[in-house]
Amino acid sequence: MSGETKILIGKLLRADNRAFVAGCRTKELIAPALGALCKVRLEEGLEIYGLIGNIIINDDSLVRQLVSGISIPTEYTEDNRHNRNLPVEISVLCVGFGQDGKIFHRLPPRPPLSLDALYLCDDAELVRFTSAGRYGYFRHILRLDDQPVEEILTAHLANARLAHAQHGRADWYTGACQELIVLLRDDYEGLMNVLNALAELE
Amino acid sequence: MPVNYPQIEQSLPAYARKEKGFQEQLAARKEKLWQMFLDPALELEAVREKISRAQALLKNLYCAKPVAEALLTRKALPALPAAYTLIAADGSQIVPNRHRPVQFCVLNIGMIKIMRGSGLAPEINVLSTLLEHENLFTSEGHLIGEEDVSLLRDLAERRVLFEAAISDREPIITLTDGPLDVYENVTTRRERAEQLNEVREIHAHLEARGVLSAGYIDKPGSELISRMLSIMQTPDAELGAYDDTKREIRGISDAELLEELLGAAERSAVFESVAKGEGKGSLNVHFFYLNVGSPGQPILARVEFPGWVSERPQLIDVLHSVIYHEAMVLDTHPYPYALHRAHELAVITMPEHEQVEAMLVRELEQAGARAGKRSNKDWNKGLTKK
Amino acid sequence: MDTINRANPHPIGYVVGGGLEANLQVRLTVPPQEVQEGSFVVIDSGGWRFYGLVTDLQLGSTNPRFADEQSEERLPRHLAELLHGQTLFTNLAVMPVLMLERGPEPGTEEYRLWKDQHPEETQPVTVKTVPSHHSPVLLADAADIAQIFGEENNQEIFRIGYTREQGHPVCLNLDKFVKRSSGIFGTTGSGKSFLARMILAGLIHADRASALIFDMHNEYGPDSTSSDTGAAVPGLKGKFGAKIRLAGLGARTSFGKLNADLSLEIAQSDITSEDVLLLSQALNLNETAPIVLSALERDFGQDWLHEFLSMETGTTIEDENGKSVPAPNSVEAWAAVGNVHPKSALALHQRLQRLGKSAYLIADPATRGLEQIIEDLEHGKHVILSFGKSNTELDYLLVTNLITRKIRDHWGNSTENFHAEKGKEPRPLVVVVEEAHKLLNREMASQTIFSTIAREMRKYYVTLLIIDQRPSQIYDEVMSQLGTRISGSLGDEDDINAVLSGLPGRSALRGLLSKLQAKEEALLLGWGVPMPIPIRSRRYDNDFWRELLGAQASPKTIEEGNKVLGFDSDDTD
């Protein structure tokens, strides 16, 4: 896993087979973006792939107190930005796993039990994951009911499209759009939400 | 399990009445103490002289002694130095628990070093130490307890500060939560003597470097000034037989007293903390009270520092303004930001505690050592815990 | 049939539902503009190839909102395009007609075993099952069409036109065509006479049957000019020369520039009372006519007409008593004797005058026209009978019915001889009648020989080819007996229904029929074609003749044609 952007996790807050939530340090907030593909190591040879579904900055009593102060010297704001483990929760949606080099778009056999790091996948890995199979992992995203499906999808597709343009298949994006239309053909609201969001990518 | 609220409820009215009465009593006492404090006869030299005499006469004495400023001194907030280094440390610990499968002790010291005027983010560090196995037991063979560990922790805090107190941005101020000195209340032991010695040495080095150490006591309850006033009231003849247990006005803290005196951001006069007898520490500690509240709503804290600082009044000003400004960063509930952060860094959460325990258990098993079991009492407690 | 390399191997869709009764439903995977109603499609499934006709295209959507809202406006083009085929789709209704067993994948072990069990080439059969869901649907290519309709061989497999959407040749099996009575329909100007001429040309060229053409409007024999375009239209005589005998009704009938090869005169003695009754309306006979006619026949036998026409009317003589009585050779006299009311007899006599005046109906014909015609037909020649100036409805009805009756009787005898092994097999004959609704309407149908022939279905080697623009007027029992029907555009709903009478799958075909393009398109249907199919008609022009007869054999004149065939130019037997 060398050469990849590594986010250190403060702690694993909750995890099940479908998603997990990890706390991380603020400074790294620039790194994970909505819809980015990341992975965590479950055990030897087995890693879980996930999409960043939500980034929540929880309330922090100290920050609230700080914010109410009249004028805060730079050192203190910098302390909070760089040093403090602001309770940021990164919500990660499981979209597949890799075992001994093979990629599957099914849910992983086990959720992570503890985490020390989350790795952001680079373009090559993004292409590798999204090229495997036939867009099977879309169903995990479409299954969400408490998060904005189309936003996550669009963010992910924007990344994947760019990556494929440079390293992968030129027709991947069209295939992805077609697959989405097939999956959502009976859901007018859902499909139009997704397509309207994707329209922005043009 | 469920509290029998009706039973309690029955007692409430009487309780409230008594408390009210008590408060009225206290209010009266406070007024009286205040009047004593205002006594013009309490002139600086007179007080110093009498307390010194009491010091010489008594075996146990624990009170305040003014250093160089009149009793009713109120100093306004001086200007804040443009640049300085403020280093705060706080510690937390895992005390060995014989109910757990393994016994171990962890000291966790958090430190923050703020370079004011630089605009840079402060340096932070957390030092976690697993106590050496040979130090786990007293010479009598008991598992060391809360107080032993606290002492070790305090020591660790000071060491950390000492090592961190190097900066090209002067003045350097170190800050801890609680009294400056390290105290203990049980019978002296040789190890403890060594520890106290170490504290003394640390402070000596710090003094040599010109580093200002301070301890911050939030909501101080001590009655050092009250005792001083009591002694001043005692006729000279009875001085040798002063018995603090018979002090007339008790229960009014110095902070409560000085609330009447200090305006927002003002400090009181500097006092020496006279401590003689059992439980004595190793340092010469001075202090002042600081009002970190807002006009009409006084909040008093006590700031302690080594005696040598008093020789240079401008250093006292530095402590005054630096500590006041630090507390004002969190102005809704004034408390030095640096201490809060240091505490935050030091805190050991239950999951972390358990994680360390699990690591140790694993290691023991690998090494072929046996890990014990939780005591039944402890295990059963876990059941009903929410 | 083993493998067929397809010209266009890309499916246009896949089966999603439907069935044998209600048509198959096919989801289109290409833009709907690439497929037309009437397209011929093939579906491969389970070792069988199904052949069917697209009878409808329907637009659909998984949710009406997708259809209502113009996604082309809201979404970028490539996303909007992707919706087509998924949320917005087109379904085809395909009428399955035939299926052909092809066996397993060629080159496999299973195929070898199957081929052992089915050594001969399998033939298409009527569809009895359905293809599976998702079976690919493809547009038929030329090989598929040839598989079903036959490969043109310039003999009995005759190219009649082309598929509308791709222009593959479609052939008519002329043997099958003449095996039962057939019909060519279409409004005036729909091109049916060109179709008829082409088919006749093909028939004559293939020489599988002889044709007797009642050419009421002088269209078939000589060259003429197209009334619409003014272009020259080659005639059959010009192209086939001596194979065609031009017969004129009455002596000295000519065919424009051509002379008749023979004249047809009909003996009065050939007319029976039924022939006359057939003309009741045309002759305006009253209800007493039948009685009078039967009396005449009773009294005079075969010569009744001659005798009757020779009678005078109103002539009287005086008898012994000086009383005025009808003259002996008068109608009245006969009526009195023949036990017939004089007035009825007179009425009839008066009406039958027309017959007496006819140019071709004579007492004692000099020529053996009819026998000659029969002989020619038996010997493999083809006869076109022109009516010349005698082309009233009356003439038409009388002559066609009479001649056909005689010919049919002759053929009937020949057939019986053949079955009794006393003679050779009769030459198949096709009698071509236009304006068939005049002969075969409900009232007439029982009286004319034509409906008999239609019903007999070539028991006696005689079939009809009827050409008509008002099929709804034709007795539907007769219509339903027609084997092959070739229909150009028809305006009237009743006419359309009539063409379909007796055929399965009518509702699907009705739509096709009603939308045929005039002059260019026709629909082939009925027993004589393997499956219904709309075609773009072949053009009846010089290219047609060149293709039919060969490059050098397109004589422009009779003279040239006769030279080619080795005849003298003035041979007008």
Among the partner-chain residues A62, A66, A75, the one whose CB lies closest to the CB of B114 is: A75
Q: Could you tell me the pLDDT band of residue C561, with boundaries at 50, 70 and 90?
A: very low
How many C-beta atoms surround the C-beta of residue B375 within 10 A? 14
DSSP state of C330: B
Q: Which of A191, A193, A196, A200 to mutate to test the interface with C (most CBs of C within 10 A)?
A: A191
pLDDT of residue B86: 95
- What is the structure's pLDDT at B12? 94
Partner-chain contact A181 C86, CB within 8 Å: yes
If pLDDT is split at 50, 70 and 90, which confidence band does C277 have? confident
3-state secondary structure of A87: coil
Ordered DSSP codes for C27-86:
EE-S-GGG--TT-EEEEEETTEEEEEEEEEEEEEESSHHHHHS-HHHHS-HHHHHHHBTT
pLDDT at B303: 96
Of B116, B332, B340, the CB nearest to A75: B116
| Residue B7: CB atoms within 10 Å | 8
Enumerate neighbours of B (3 or more CB pairs within 8 A): A
A119 to chain B, closest Cα gap in Å: 23
Chain A: which residues have CB within 8 Å of chain C?
174, 177-178, 181-182, 185-186, 188, 191, 195-196, 198-199, 202
Closest CA to B313 of B23, B43, B69, B26: B69
**What is the distance between the alpha carbons of residues B304 and B301, in angstroms, rounded to a whole number?**
10
C172-265+365-565: CATH number: 3.40.50.300
Cis status, amide bond into A73, omega within 30 of 0: no
Residues of C in contact with A181 (CB under 8 A): 82-83, 86-87
The one-character DSSP state at C424 is P
pLDDT confidence tier of residue C567, bands split at 50, 70 and 90? very low
- Tell me which chain B residues have a C-beta less than 8 angstroms from the C-beta of A76: 114, 329, 337
CA torsion angle for C193, C194, C199, C205 (degrees, to 10)? 120
B141 touches chain A (CB under 8 A): no
Verify whether the Cβ–Cβ distance C78 to A174 is below 8 Å. Answer: yes
Q: Which residues of A touch B118 (CB under 8 A)?
A: 75
**Which contacts (CB < 8 Å, 24+ apart) does range C540-547 have?**
C540/C194, C540/C195, C540/C197, C540/C198, C540/C233, C540/C234, C541/C231, C541/C234, C542/C234, C544/C198, C544/C201, C545/C201, C545/C234, C545/C239, C547/C159
Answer yes or no: do B112 and A83 touch at CB < 8 A. yes
Structure tokens given for C185: 């329909």
Q: CB distance B330–A62 less than 8 Å?
A: yes
Query: What integer best gives the mean pLDDT of chain B?
Result: 88
Judge contact between B378 and B100, C-beta under 8 A: yes
Q: Among residues B199, B249, B206, B224, which one has the least CA distance to residue B302?
A: B224
Shortest CA gap B65–chain A (Å) = 36
Higher pLDDT pick, B303 / C70: B303
DSSP-assigned letter for residue A185: T
Q: Is B51 on the interface with A (CB under 8 A)?
A: no
Measured between beta carbons, the chain B residues lying within 8 angstroms of A72 are: 329
Shortest Cα–Cα distance, B341 to chain A (Å):
9
Nearest Cα residue in chain C from A185: C87
Rounded mean pLDDT, B38-55: 88
The pLDDT tens digits of the residues spanning A73-132 come to 888 888 877 777 666 788 899 999 999 889 999 999 888 877 667 788 888 899 999 999
Report the pLDDT averaged over residues C144-154: 87
Band of residue C132 on the pLDDT scale cut at 50, 70, 90:
very high
Q: CB of A116 within 8 Å of any CB in chain B?
A: no
| Tens of pLDDT, residues C357-382 | 777 887 777 777 788 888 888 888 89
Shortest Cα distance, chain A CAs vs residue C51, angstroms: 30
Angle between helix axes B190-209 and B146-164 (nearest 10 degrees) is 20
Question: Rounded to whole angstroms, how far apart are CA atoms B29 and C80?
Answer: 86
- pLDDT, one tens digit per residue, over C496-520 is 889 988 787 677 788 888 888 877 8
**Amino acid at position B225, single letter:** I
Contact yes or no for C174/C206 (Cβ under 8 A): yes
Is A69 an 8 Å CB contact of chain B? yes
Lowest-confidence region among A131-145, B203-217, C182-196, C255-269: C255-269
pLDDT over threshold 60, residue A1 = no
- Give CA separation, C433 vs C213, C254, C348, in Å: 7, 20, 29
- What's the per-residue H, E or C state across C258-321? EECCEEECEEHHHCCHHHHHHCHHHHCCCCCHHHHHHHHHHHHHHHHHHHHHHCECCCEEECCC
Other C-beta atoms closer than 10 Å to the C-beta of C440 total 26
How far, in Å, CA of B158 to CA of B175, rounded?
9
Count Cβ–Cβ pairs < 8 Å, chain A vs chain B.
Answer: 52
Rounded to a whole number of angstroms, the distance from the CA of B334 to the nearest CA of chain A is 10
Place of tokens 């050939």: C270
Question: d(Cα C259, Cα C250) in Å, to the nearest integer?
Answer: 13
C82–A174: do the CB atoms touch at under 8 Å?
yes
- What are the pLDDT digits (tens) for C34-85? 898 889 999 999 889 999 999 899 999 888 888 888 888 888 888 888 888 7
Is A171 touching B (CB cutoff 8 A)? Answer: no
Q: Residue C457's pLDDT is what?
A: 66
pLDDT reported for residue C134: 94
C85-113: b or e for each residue (b if 16 or more CB lie within 10 Å)?
A: bbbbbbbbbbbbbbbbebbeeeeeeebee
- C138-152: average pLDDT: 89
A73 contacts in chain B (CB < 8 Å): 116, 329
In the Cβ-directed half-sphere of B23, how many Cα atoms lie within 13 Å? 6
Residue of chain A whose Cα is closest to the Cα of C66: A188
Instruction: Decide if B351 touches A, using CB distance below 8 A.
Output: yes
Is pLDDT at A65 greater than 80 in this prediction? no
Structure-token pair, residue B20: 């009210």
Tell me the pTM.
Answer: 0.65
How far is C541 from C234, CA to CA, in rounded Å? Answer: 7
- Quote the CA–CA distance of B65 and B145 in Å, as a whole number: 34
Which pLDDT score is estimated for B42?
85
pLDDT bracket for residue A69 (50, 70, 90): low
- Nearest chain A alpha carbon to B334: A65
Residues C329-340: tens digit of each pLDDT: 888 888 888 788
Q: Which chains would you list as touching A if contact means 3+ CB atom pairs under 8 Å?
A: B, C
Chain A contact set for B354 (CB, 8 A): none
Which residue of A lies nearest to C75 if distances are taken between CA atoms? Answer: A199
Looking at CA atoms only, how far is residue A11 from chain B in angstroms?
A: 10
How far is the alpha carbon of C72 from chain A, nearest alpha carbon, in Å?
11
- Is the pair C, B in contact (3+ CB pairs within 8 Å)? no
Task: Choose between C27 and C395: higher pLDDT.
Answer: C27
Residue C517: which residues within 8 A CB-CB, separation 6 or more?
C489
Q: Which amino acid is at A130?
A: T
Round the average pLDDT of chain C to a whole number and report it.
83
Amino acid at C422: K
Cβ <8 Å between B331 and A70: yes
Could you tell me if C146 and C137 are in contact, meaning their C-beta atoms sit under 8 angstroms apart? Answer: no
A14 touches chain B (CB under 8 A): no
| Mean pLDDT value across residues C433-461 | 80
**Residue type (1 letter), B68:** A
In whole angstroms, what is the distance from residue C19 CA to residue C96 CA? 9
> Are C76 and A174 in contact (CB < 8 Å)?
no
| Closest chain A C-alpha to B356 CA, distance in angstroms | 14
- The per-residue pLDDT for range B328-365, each reduced to its tens digit, is 888 778 999 999 999 999 999 888 888 888 888 888 88
Cβ neighbours around B84 below 10 Å, total: 20
| Residue A82 to chain B, least CA–CA distance (Å) | 7
ipTM over the 0.90 cut-off: no
Q: For A185, which of C62, C65, C79 is closest by C-beta distance?
A: C62
Taking the CA of residue A63 and the nearest CA in chain B, the distance in Å comes to: 9
**How sure is the predictor about C31, in pLDDT bands with cuts at 50, 70 and 90?**
confident
Phi/psi of residue B266, nearest 5 degrees: -85, 155
Which of chain A's residues have a Cβ under 8 Å away from the Cβ of C63? Answer: 186, 188
Alpha-carbon dihedral angle through residues B4, B10, B13, B17, given to the nearest 10 degrees: -90
Enumerate the domain spans of chain C: 13-149, 172-265+365-565, 269-361
3-state class of C515 per DSSP?
A: coil
